[in-house]
Amino acid sequence: MPAFCSGNTVAIEKELGYQFKDKKILNDALTHKSFYHENPDDEGFHNERLEFLGDTILGLVISDLLYRKEPPMPESEMARIKSYLVSGKVLSRIANGKHLGNYLKLGKGEIGTGGRAKDSILADSIEALFGAVYMDGGFYQAKDVIVGLYGLVIEETLQEKKYLDHKTELQELSQQKLGVLPEYRINKEEGLEHEKVFTVSVSVKGEVLGTGTGRSKKKAETDAAKEALKNITSKDQNIT
């Protein structure tokens, strides 16, 4: 993958939908500390300070967008959605969609260990870009970039309720309605040691409410909890 070079900024600026007046700050945003430490004579700086700034700006913009959504959401739900949207998982997904790894300046060690595809590096770097846009063009320019990247992600998240932690939700519901915790049981393990697939069931007071499968116990338990919540909702609707 081609590394970023300071004289070629057109592609990444096009991906962001923003043209920098100060190319140096863009260079800094795309410079990982591993490159900075391996190249002490380089004129730029690494992106951790811009990442710190971008993280704050991102939180404010997402909070503002959620506050303005209709119908109004309770604070607890906004907090849960915001936490999901600013997570490394979502940030790295957005960064991957813009091929950000291609433009990062990484040290040889990071390049050798697949740094251009590491979720943590991608997430930190796109936050640094938000900070860089803010420093170069101001808050509203940074907001426009974030809204442009997040628009469809937010709608998809709200429609599919991707922000929900199904295990926590089931636990809270089970305690509230029945005063007990759900119990998870591994029903089956299949495949080689490094390619195992788990099948897990979840029950409440001895009644199996959901079953899930996954390449990890956590994934299988999450799927089981998701199915259990659907079954509980269906039962409640039938009663009413």
| Residues 222, 212 contacting (CB under 8 angstroms) | yes
Could you give the CA distance from residue 28 to residue 196 in angstroms, rounded to a whole number?
Answer: 42
Active site residue 55: yes
Which residue type does 59 have? Answer: G
- Give the closest residue to 166 by CA, choosing from 106, 225, 100: 225
Count CB neighbours of 152 within 10 A: 10
- Give the closest residue to 223 by CA, choosing from 173, 181, 170, 180: 170
How far is it between the farthest Cα atoms of the chain? 72
Strand partners, 184: 202
Of 28, 51, 127, 223, the catalytic one is 127
Could you give the CA distance from residue 127 to residue 50 in angstroms, rounded to a whole number?
Answer: 7
Q: Taking each helix axis from N to C terminus, what angle separates 48-67 and 75-85, rounded to the nearest 10 degrees? A: 140
* CB-neighbour burial class of residue 63 (10 A; exposed 0-12, middle 13-18, buried 19+): middle
Active site residue 172: no
CA dist 163 → 63, 95, 97 (Å)? 14, 19, 20
**What residues are annotated to the active site?**
55, 127
